[in-house]
Amino acid sequence: MSEDKFNYKELGLMMGLEIHQQLDSKTKLFCRCPNSLTDKKPERKIFRRLRPTQSELGEIDRAAYEESQRNLQFVYEAYNHHTCLVEADEEPPSPLNQEAVDISIILASLMNMKVVDEFHTMRKQVIDGSNTSGFQRTGILATDGYVETEYGDVTIETLGLEEDAARRIGEEDGKIVFRLDRLGIPLAEITTSPDMHHPLQVKAVAYQLGQILRSTSVKRGLGTIRQDLNISIKEGSRIEVKGVQDLDLMPTIVENEVQRQLNLIDISKQLQERGACVEEEIIDVTKYLENTESKVIQNSLAKENSCILAIKLRKFNGLIGREIQPGKRLGTEFSEHGKKMGVSGLFHTDELPAYGIVQEEVDTLRDILELDEDDAFILVAEEKTKAHNALLEIIKRAKQSLEGVPEETRRAQDDGNTQYLRPLPTASRMYVETDIPTEIIEKERVKKIASNLPELPVVKKERIEKEYKLSEDLAKQLVQRNRADLFEEIKKELPSMDSVKIASDIVYTIKDLKRDGYDITKLTKDALVEVFSLVDNDVIPAAETEVILKDVCNDISPRDSVKNNNLEKLSDDIIVDTIKEIIEENKNMIEQRKMGAMGPLMGKAMAKFKGKADGQTVSNVIKDEILNIINN
């Protein structure tokens, strides 16, 4: 964004980040199952349901209650080797994974945090079914840190160490299927203070934290890191945006959320000025639309025990269709709440007549519902229980629109907008996990780890760029693709080998081979050293490494590849003799063009050598031969 769309300071914009990063330890956090995923067929399945209960204060969590209204069954896929009774909640957890603790201490030190003296494992309520026990084991490992950005320091409130949730596989017919292979993988939770006040600042902080995470033993790839963004403005509410993966999209998400909250605040003021209200009566209007030509409604009515239900929104006319995000209206938010209950057909007066519903039918409904000109109605066509529950949710959301911006958890979308996910949970009530003893973290342990911290990626990029005389882009690609250490290990064994050639092949050539379906896991460090040594020892031209790398992926040794493809370089004597023949055949052109004959002669020579001669060597010999003719 080149210019700010809003005066963020005046609006009181506040933002905070929560980053969840899987740690690359050998085993899970509270059992000794492998820290890896599987796509094998499960050996058994476990079935559970969510039932919300009152806390000791007599309260029911609002998010848990809404989830329970969906009446879902949770199916957990389990394995003999990737999961155990701990994930199934049939056995107490094992002692805390010490490798994960050490990795977390490294992260804490890199973020200038104070590591706690005692790590207490706690139980935190989970309401989406992603944990068989209904709670997550978690604890705070460090507090009170900071990271530096061009916008100033940002406080890192806490670094938590916790178990990851089960992996969601799919949803069908009232069942959500989870796989237990991910449940229990060690997860670092980084939480910043809400002291970011500009959309570009939150992007800068996310980048900086990503650099810190990349520098140590964390997992890479899709699903291994999850970023949540908390956003609020002065007259609005705190919104938690889940799944913000694209750093470049962060400023747009913030801008769109600010726009959404401003529009919702404006709508609430207009509704209050009108004296609007939401009636709780749910009215069956099936008989008035049973002969409609609307295919959406007819498809809904074709289901067993289906109906068309309506609610009345007094003084809402014209505001349900008001845009609040790019391409999204207030009616979209109502619909998102209703669809959580499994409905598909939902209509409101600001968009009618449309979808096969004609004006005459709209007028009939307005008469039946006794609506004034500035009143509105919402219809839902679906199985009766689903339709009723959906309208209860819509009534709740419509009432919230009278007040302003409801606190919500929303899901980030690829276009920079967000979508309703669930109510913002009430403050987590955490309880000590009685099956896990307190972990004492000695100061000497922290001091020892802090004295040998890894090199941050941005520092590593700048160092290898200068030390090995690489381009900025090539050094950046080595670091971003986690190939910098491999590059330096190869250079250590082949110090005279061209750095640019090694870096280019392990960044770009191997990437292309993977894209083309080659098994690049065969390209180990030792295999790459053997391939590059062929160039370094002048056995093959540098341009031929790709051919050999392809063969290595197919279990053909580098030496056999050279022999099979006839890749050995020509001797200098053969190169000189061949070039002299070419020079003799083209003397007239040389006498006419002088040094201008260089290009055509290079082309003829390289075509004849077919990649078996080094280009620079060929160029030098041709140049010398041309100068001999010119000078004589």
Same domain, 124 and 221: yes
Sheet architecture: strand order including 73-78? 44-49, 73-78, 175-179, 167-172
In this structure, what token pair is assigned to residue 140?
A: 């705070």
Same domain, 520 and 612: no
The letter for the amino acid at 553 is C
| Residues of the chain above pLDDT 70, percent | 95
Same domain, 114 and 70: yes
- Domain assignment present for residue 439? The answer is no
* pLDDT, position 427: 66
On whether the CB atoms of residues 431 and 314 are closer than 8 A, the answer is no
pLDDT in tens, 424-466: 877 666 889 999 999 999 999 999 999 999 998 889 999 999 9
pLDDT in tens, 518-544: 999 999 999 999 999 999 998 888 889
Which residues are within 8 A (CB) of 235 and not within 5 positions of it... i.e. 6 or more apart? 12, 261, 265, 404
Same domain, 534 and 584: no
* pLDDT, position 1: 45
Residue with tokens 């991910």: 182
In this structure, what token pair is assigned to residue 179?
A: 């796989």
Kindly state the helix (H) or strand (E) to which residue 484 belongs, with its residue range.
Answer: helix 484-493
87 alpha-carbon distance from chain centroid: 25
φ, ψ dihedrals at 346, nearest 5°: -140, 130
Same domain, 467 and 487: yes
* pLDDT, position 594: 87
Same domain, 168 and 233: yes
Confidence of residue 15 (pLDDT cuts 50, 70, 90): very high
* pLDDT, position 52: 61
Of 195, 220, 238, the position where a domain reaches its end is 238
- Domain assignment present for residue 254? The answer is no
Task: Please compute the mean of the pLDDT values over residues 482-503 and round it to a whole number.
Answer: 95
CA dihedral (31, 37, 42, 47) in degrees, to 10, reads 60
Same domain, 293 and 414: yes
Same domain, 337 and 396: yes
pLDDT in tens, 541-581: 888 999 999 999 999 999 999 999 988 877 778 888 888 88
- Domain assignment present for residue 411? The answer is yes
Radius of gyration, alpha carbons of the chain: 33
Q: Which residues pair with 143 in a beta bridge?
A: 114, 158
Of 532, 564, 596, the position where a domain reaches its end is 564
| pLDDT above 70: residue 289 | yes
Confidence of residue 56 (pLDDT cuts 50, 70, 90): low
Number of domains in the chain: 4
Count Cα neighbours of 402 within 13 Å in the Cβ-side half-sphere: 17
Q: What is the CA angle 332-333-339, rounded to 5?
A: 85
CA dihedral (232, 234, 237, 238) in degrees, to 10, reads 30
In this structure, what token pair is assigned to residue 167?
A: 């992996």
Pinpoint the alpha helices (H) of 238-329. 250-274, 286-289, 295-301
Which residues are within 8 A (CB) of 371 and not within 5 positions of it... i.e. 6 or more apart? 312, 377
Would you give the DSSP letter of residue 194? Answer: S
Task: Please compute the mean of the pLDDT values over residues 174-193 and round it to a whole number.
Answer: 96
Same domain, 80 and 207: yes
Same domain, 409 and 463: no
352 lies in which domain range? Answer: 271-423
| pLDDT above 70: residue 96 | yes
Of 510, 535, 564, the position where a domain reaches its end is 564
- Domain assignment present for residue 449? The answer is no
- Domain assignment present for residue 244? The answer is no
On whether the CB atoms of residues 158 and 108 are closer than 8 A, the answer is no
Residue with tokens 């900086």: 208
pLDDT in tens, 65-74: 566 566 688 9
- Domain assignment present for residue 405? The answer is yes
- Domain assignment present for residue 344? The answer is yes
CATH number at residue 312: 3.30.1360.30
Burial 41-71 (b: 16+ CB within 10 A, else e): ebeeebebebebeeeeeeeebbbbebbbeee
Q: Which residues pair with 419 in a beta bridge?
A: 411
| Residues of the chain above pLDDT 90, percent | 74
- Domain assignment present for residue 228? The answer is yes
* pLDDT, position 60: 60
pLDDT in tens, 156-171: 999 999 999 999 999 8
Same domain, 482 and 605: no
CA 58, 63, 66, 70 dihedral sign is negative
Same domain, 176 and 56: yes
Please state, in angstroms and rounded to a whole number, the distance separating the CA atoms of residues 48 and 74.
5
